Amino acid sequence: MSYQPFAYKKADLHHYNQRKYPIDMLVIHSMAHDAMEGIARLDEQKLSSHYVVDYDGTIFQCVDENNRAWHAGVSSWKGLNDINSRSIGIEVCHRSLGQSNFNKKQIKSLINLCKDIIERNKIAPTMIVGHSDIAPNRKPDPGKAFPWQELAAHNIGIWYGSRFSEEEDVAKMLSEIGYNVENEENIATSAYAFCRRFFPKKIVTMPTKKLLDNPYPNNCSSLLKDSAFIRSLQNISMQYKLYGNVKKGS
């Protein structure tokens, strides 16, 4: 029997297959439905997620962690592509797809769930991502208001630290974090996804429907020359690097 530290409700999703790799990533999503609607919608679209966290913090387990759920789609992180094969996916219910604040009770429940998953599967903070981090051209979730800083205080993901990199090559720093920078479009959309997660002041608020069709504005390449963005990137890329170094030495 799989280890369960607290109660989950079960709501089976049916579209999944076998993993090709061991679990070493956690992907956080948001969806603009409550849990029951969202679960029905995923099933209809032949998609799935291991967990769904409802508005009130109720956790639904939908696919066994041992199976490969279908939540990430075409995506990339640190040059890895079959993210579904190596990750656990969590959908967080949020009507505006993370354009406005999340419910405190829901985030508390999400933090407990993440801590449990991370501890059991030994997932590194550098491998905890939002859907928009791994698919910046296609996906806006979990959204600009998702509380990454609060999660990082519980070692769920990376946040700002005291040291800055002196690197000035934006693409190089984005790629050191894990973002896909294989062409000009990817560099610009990855910069926008970086801001969505680490520097949300730079993100415009769009209606949910528009956001789903068009997760980034046309002019987002202007970010690449923005000095405040570059300063943030010099800090965050350094934290990813430091974490990598600590790991190798231990």
**Per CB under 5 A, does 131 bind Zn ion?**
yes
Nearer to Zn ion, 131 or 196 (CB): 131
Nearer to Zn ion, 131 or 202 (CB): 131
| Residue of 62, 141, 144, 236 that binds Zn ion (CB under 5 A) | 141
By CB neighbour count within 10 A (0-12 exposed, 13-18 middle, 19+ buried), where does 216 fall? buried
Q: How far is the CB of 139 from Zn ion (least distance, A)?
A: 5
Q: How far is the CB of 193 from Zn ion (least distance, A)?
A: 12
Q: 199 CB contacts (<8 Å, ≥6 apart)?
A: 228, 229, 232
Stretch that binds Zn ion, among 58-66, 95-103, 141-149, 222-230 (CB under 5 A): 141-149
Active-site annotation holds for 91: yes
- The residues pairing with 172 across neighbouring beta strands, listed in sequence order, are none
Rounded CA gap, 133 and 155, in Å? 18
Q: How far is the CB of 28 from Zn ion (least distance, A)?
A: 8
Stretch that binds Zn ion, among 130-138, 147-155, 217-225, 229-237 (CB under 5 A): 130-138
| Residue of 13, 25, 26, 29 that binds Zn ion (CB under 5 A) | 29
Give the contact letters, 78-117, x = binds to Zn ion (CB under 5 A), - = no.
----------------------------------------
What is the per-residue DSSP string for 90-141?
A: EEEE-TTTTSSPPPHHHHHHHHHHHHHHHHHHT--GGGEEEHHHH-TTT---
Stretch that binds Zn ion, among 94-102, 139-147, 155-163, 189-197 (CB under 5 A): 139-147
Given the residues 37, 44, 65, 91, the one annotated as active site: 91
Residue 198 phi/psi, 5-degree rounding, is -110, -15
CA nearest neighbour of 31 among 95, 101, 114:
95
CA nearest neighbour of 196 among 122, 119, 137:
137
Q: How far is the CB of 27 from Zn ion (least distance, A)?
A: 8
Stretch that binds Zn ion, among 36-44, 126-134, 217-225, 231-239 (CB under 5 A): 126-134
Nearer to Zn ion, 53 or 170 (CB): 53
CA distances from 59 to 54, 96, 203 (A): 6, 20, 29
Q: How far is the CB of 144 from Zn ion (least distance, A)?
A: 14
Question: What interhelical angle do 227-249 and 170-177 show, nearest 10?
Answer: 40
Two structure tokens written together for 5:
């530290």
Q: What residue type is 69 in one-letter code?
A: A
Applying CB under 5 A, which residues contact Zn ion?
29, 131, 141
Catalytic site residues?
91
